[in-house]
Structure 1
Amino acid sequence: MSPRGLEEWSANTVDSLLRSETVSGRIKYQKTYSKDYLSKKQVRNKGNYPNI
C-alpha cells in the first residue's frame, strides 16, 4: 500500500524517498558553520570544517 492508499507506488514517490537524506541514512551534519563569530555569517561546509 502506498502512503495515499493506492496499490502501487508512483515513480515520483519512490524517487523522492531514495533522494531523501533522512530515509536513505545519508544525513550530513555541519552543512554550514560560522566562519566569523562576530558577524555570525554562515558558510557552506565544503570539507574544510571537520565533522565532529
Structure 2
Amino acid sequence: MYMFLPFLLALAGCASVWRSRAGLSYALWSGTILVTVAWFFHHATDPLKFSF
C-alpha cells in the first residue's frame, strides 16, 4: 500500500522541528506513530501458517 507514508510524515515532522513549529511537529510525530502502529496491527494479527 502506501508504505512511504510513515517516512514522509517523519520527514515533514523533522522539517517542522527545524522551522520551530512545535504544534505542527507534535501533530506530525503523533501521526507517524499512529500510522506505524495501525499498520503493525493490520499486518501482525493473522497467525503464521507454517507447514513443516
**Superposition TM-score, scaled by structure 1 size:** 0.27
Name the structure with the higher helix share. Answer: 2
**Superposition TM-score, scaled by structure 2 size:** 0.27
Name the structure with the higher strand share. Answer: 1
